[in-house]
Amino acid sequence: MTRGNTVHVVDDDHGFRKGLERLLRANGLEVRTFESAEEFEAKANLSEAGCLILDIHLGGMSGIELGCRLMGSGAKVPVVFVTASDNEATRRAAFDAGCVACLEKPFPARVLMDAVGEALAR
């Protein structure tokens, strides 16, 4: 399956999600946003996804659980994880789930854009 070039953002913090959407669009990227892993599973079109930005700690299913489910289903969409509570166990779980990067909130815009650029290039 050919990958698209849209960045899919899954984060339950409305303000953060909107901020990411604005940043990504200002850098010329197409963006789709989702407030939960469950909404993503119900509404996302993976064929249009170039990469995913997943918050690790969501209200229902975690971003890591979603990443693992996608990987288990054979989806080849690169993932950038973001989290407000970074620790070694969380970071290890993120990389075990196959992520390109794991960023601790708040992070500089350039760090995110570099990670997204790497993900889209894969």
Write out pLDDT tens, residues 64-105.
999 999 999 998 899 999 999 878 998 998 998 889 999 999
Given this model, what pLDDT does residue 13 score?
96
The pair of structure tokens assigned to 102 is: 């794991």
- Asked whether 83 and 55 are in contact (CB, 8 A), the reply is yes
Domains delineated in the chain? 6-121 (3.40.50.2300)
pLDDT surpassing 50 at residue 1: no
pTM over 0.85: yes
Question: Which residue from 106, 92, 120, 122 is spatially nearest to 27, judged by alpha carbons?
Answer: 120
The pair phi, psi for residue 19, each rounded to 5°, is -60, -45
Helix (H), strand (E) at residue 4: none
Mean pLDDT of 16-45: 97
Given this model, what pLDDT does residue 3 score?
66
